[in-house]
Amino acid sequence: MAIQKGERFANGDIFIDYPYEEVTYRWDHHSKQVFVRFYGDEESIQPVPHDNRLFNEALRFGEEITRQDYNRGRSRR
């Protein structure tokens, strides 16, 4: 089920897992920036543009995860 931006993005951080592409995302609602973390890697220090194709696919086809799951990271298959 698609993750809706709207009010939830305005009020809190959101963490997304998109296993098909082995990537996770973190929306920081204070800075209004998106950060990416590919499976097996650390989080990128560079924010991702809001119109990034992969990020928007993750919103449509990925699933929301907890902060703890995001921080723990995922292993490559």
Measured distance CA(32)–CA(18) in Å, rounded: 20
Q: Is residue 67 part of a domain?
A: yes
Which residues lie across from 25 on neighbouring strands? 16, 36
Give the residue with greater pLDDT, 12 vs 25. Answer: 25
pLDDT at 61 (0 to 100): 96
Q: How many domains does the chain have?
A: 1
Task: Give me 9's structure tokens.
Answer: 């993005």
10 is a domain residue: yes
pTM, two decimal places:
0.90
Strands laid side by side in the 23-28 sheet = 33-38, 23-28, 14-18, 63-65
Token duo for residue 44: 């990128």
What is the extent of the structural domain holding 48?
A: 6-72
Structural domain includes residue 1: no
> For the segment 16-37, what is each residue's pLDDT rounded down to a tens digit?
999 999 999 999 999 999 999 9
